[in-house]
């Protein structure tokens, strides 16, 4: 440990980040800002070329920051996995999606572990950051890494530190969000804490790998359940003629015992729609049924269907069928002011509209065109907003409430606005055109 800490202090430790997406790239930024050299690993050759040219691939890490990292000589991206041998630590930042049956899809963690095992050397620190069920690091990662002939906790060191990225959050950055760290052994934990401590403001050590894994699951289950509650209340209050948004605003004035959560067209992002199901899957191995979590997941999953039903109802009142109607979806990202469309409810809304015969376009100032995803390939290009263009649609569906949108202007020029985000709350003129969903 003394030698490890000395090398970190002298900026002689080389960090490897495996997976250069929404989790990996911000980590690269923080370690290079701290003066440590970083090698970024990714299987996407186009992404690697883009980064090495000094251009970013995600909105909240600007081009200027990537250029600075490249120019400093502290960062280089590569697809050559054999270079893993030359780094002192490897931070695994790969996706953990669900299968079609809502079970954990571990292929990216498994493949990453296999790749590292082929290049593992004595003394290296390996840390998994991908959100997953408690037990993954011990049960999945260790056996694969030990196929190298090296022993975890003795020949190499192993930790788990859950990512806590929140794209678009202006109050917190990767550096200022406290970092939870667990290790296989005390030495493993201490080494990981020392490494992250060089780049992150506050480190939160925990007693085991499993506690660190469970911490992130708890955070996301908490949000999933509370969002499901307000989504259900939205539907209930709508039947009662009560505006759920006004209710939440009033309840938020209570200075204790209440935290506001907001309804929407469904859950998005890589964490909240997925991670609770990792826990429900693992709980079944212990003979436990997580009914509360599964019910929340069911409510959130059904929200896009509710939004479509409200759209159909609004069109019917205007003597228009959804089949053959022209619908413009505003916002493709899963939340406002970002360019991340992972698990975005907008994707499902577009697919549901298409299935019902609507002619669908979208606009998103941060996503000029769609790209192929694991389960979706919309093959669409963002349409430029003009007054004439808005008037040509039978309905404009607000799915993501980007700050860049002028909602007064949108309502003024649209025939019908279906608002799933309360984005038009401050619009006074043209209220008869607005339907809350």
Shared domain check, 256 and 111:
no
| pLDDT value of residue 55 | 97
Whole-number Å distance between alpha carbons of 310 and 289:
33
For residue 247 the two structure tokens come to 């209710």
The answer to whether position 217 is within a domain reads: no
**In this structure, is residue 214 part of a structural domain?**
no
Residue 213 resides in a domain: no
Instruction: Please give the pLDDT value at position 16.
Output: 98
H or E segment at 58? none
Which pLDDT belongs to residue 272? Answer: 63
Residues 184 and 241 in one domain: no
Q: Identify whether the C-beta of residue 421 lies closer than 8 Å to the C-beta of residue 264.
A: yes
Tell me: do 412 and 296 sit in the same domain: yes
Read out DSSP for 227-249?
HHHHHHHHHHHHHHT--HHHHHH
Under a CB-based contact definition with an 8 Å cutoff, are residues 18 and 93 in contact? Answer: yes
User: Do residues 367 and 312 share a domain?
Assistant: yes
- Number of structural domains (the chain) is 2
Query: Residue 275: what pLDDT?
Result: 74
Q: Are residues 103 and 138 in the same domain?
A: yes
Q: Rounded to two decimals, what is the model's pTM?
A: 0.91
Domain C-terminal end among 206, 241, 269: 206
Rg (C-alpha) for the chain, rounded Å, is: 23
Same structural domain, 50 and 170: yes
Q: Is residue 297 located within the same domain as residue 355? A: yes
Told to judge if 271 belongs to the known catalytic residues of this protein, a careful annotator would answer yes
One domain, residues 430 and 295: yes
Residues 262 and 385 in one domain: yes
Range of the domain at 415: 224-436
Which residue of the set 93, 193, 224, 271 is catalytic? 271
pLDDT computed for residue 270 by the predictor: 61
Task: State the pLDDT at residue 359.
Answer: 97
Give the CATH number of the domain where residue 287 resides: 3.40.50.720
Q: Are residues 198 and 259 in the same domain?
A: no
- Would residue 218 count as lying in a domain? no
Domain end, chosen from 175, 206, 237, is at 206
Q: Are residues 402 and 260 in the same domain?
A: yes
Looking at the fold, whether 250 and 196 belong to one and the same domain comes out as no
CA separation for the pair 20, 41 (Å, rounded): 7
Cα 292 to Cα 226: distance, rounded to the nearest angstrom = 11
| Close Cβ partners of 125 (under 8 Å, ≥ 6 residues apart) | 88, 89, 90, 156, 157, 158, 159, 188, 191, 192, 195
Q: Choose one of 174, 206, 238: the last residue of a domain.
A: 206
Q: Could you read off the pLDDT tens digit of each residue along the chain, which spans 437 residues?
A: 789 999 999 999 999 999 999 999 999 999 999 999 999 999 999 999 999 999 999 988 999 999 999 999 999 999 999 999 999 999 999 999 888 777 889 999 999 999 999 999 999 999 999 999 999 999 999 999 999 999 999 999 999 999 998 887 889 999 999 999 999 999 999 999 999 999 999 999 999 999 999 999 999 999 999 999 999 999 999 999 999 999 999 999 999 999 999 999 987 766 666 778 888 889 999 999 899 998 998 899 999 999 999 999 999 999 999 999 999 999 999 999 999 888 899 999 999 999 999 999 999 999 999 987 767 788 899 999 999 999 999 999 999 999 999 999 999 999 999 999 999 999 999 999 999 99
pLDDT of residue 269: 61
Q: Identify whether 219 is part of a domain.
A: no
């Amino acid at each position: 440990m003394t030698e490890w800490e000395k090398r970190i202090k002298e900026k002689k430790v080389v960090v490897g980040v495996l997976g250069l997406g929404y989790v990996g790239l911000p980590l690269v930024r923080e370690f290079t800002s701290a003066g440590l050299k970083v090698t970024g690993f990714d299987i996407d050759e186009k992404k690697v070329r883009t980064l090495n040219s000094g251009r970013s691939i995600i909105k909240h890490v600007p081009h200027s920051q990537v250029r600075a990292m490249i120019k400093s000589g502290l960062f280089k991206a590569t697809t050559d996995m054999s270079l893993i041998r030359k780094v002192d630590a490897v931070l695994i930042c790969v996706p953990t999606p669900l299968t079609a049956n809502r079970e954990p899809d571990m292929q990216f963690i498994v493949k990453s572990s296999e790749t590292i095992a082929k290049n593992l050397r004595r003394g290296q620190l390996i840390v998994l950051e991908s959100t997953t069920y408690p037990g993954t690091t011990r049960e999945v990662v260790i056996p694969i890494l030990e196929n190298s002939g090296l022993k975890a906790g003795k020949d190499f060191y192993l930790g788990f530190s859950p990512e806590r990225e929140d794209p678009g959050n202006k109050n917190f950055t990767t550096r200022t969000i406290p970092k939870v760290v667990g290790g296989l052994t005390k030495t493993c934990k201490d080494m990981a804490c020392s490494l992250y401590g060089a780049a992150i403001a506050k480190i939160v050590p925990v007693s085991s790998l499993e506690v660190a894994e469970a911490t992130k699951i708890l955070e996301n289950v908490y949000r999933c359940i509370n969002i499901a509650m307000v989504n259900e209340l939205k539907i209930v209050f709508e039947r009662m003629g009560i505006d759920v948004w006004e209710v939440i605003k009033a309840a938020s004035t209570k200075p204790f015992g209440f935290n506001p959560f907001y309804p929407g067209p469904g859950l998005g992002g890589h964490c909240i729609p997925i991670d609770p199901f990792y826990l429900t899957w693992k709980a079944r191995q212990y003979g436990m049924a997580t009914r509360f979590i599964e019910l929340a997941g069911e409510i959130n999953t059904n929200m896009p269907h509710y939004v479509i039903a409200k759209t159909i109802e609004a069109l019917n009142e205007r003597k228009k069928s959804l089949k053959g109607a022209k619908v413009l979806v505003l916002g493709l990202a899963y939340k406002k002011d970002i360019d991340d469309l992972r698990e975005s409810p907008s994707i499902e809304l577009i697919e549901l509209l298409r299935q019902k015969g609507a002619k669908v376009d979208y606009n998103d100032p941060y996503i000029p065109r769609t790209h192929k995803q694991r389960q979706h390939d919309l093959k669409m290009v963002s349409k430029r907003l003009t007054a004439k263009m808005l008037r040509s649609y039978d309905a404009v569906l607000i799915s993501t409430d980007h700050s860049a949108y002028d909602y007064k202007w949108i309502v003024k020029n649209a025939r019908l606005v279906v608002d799933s985000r309360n984005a038009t709350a401050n619009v006074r003129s043209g209220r008869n055109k607005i339907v809350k969903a």
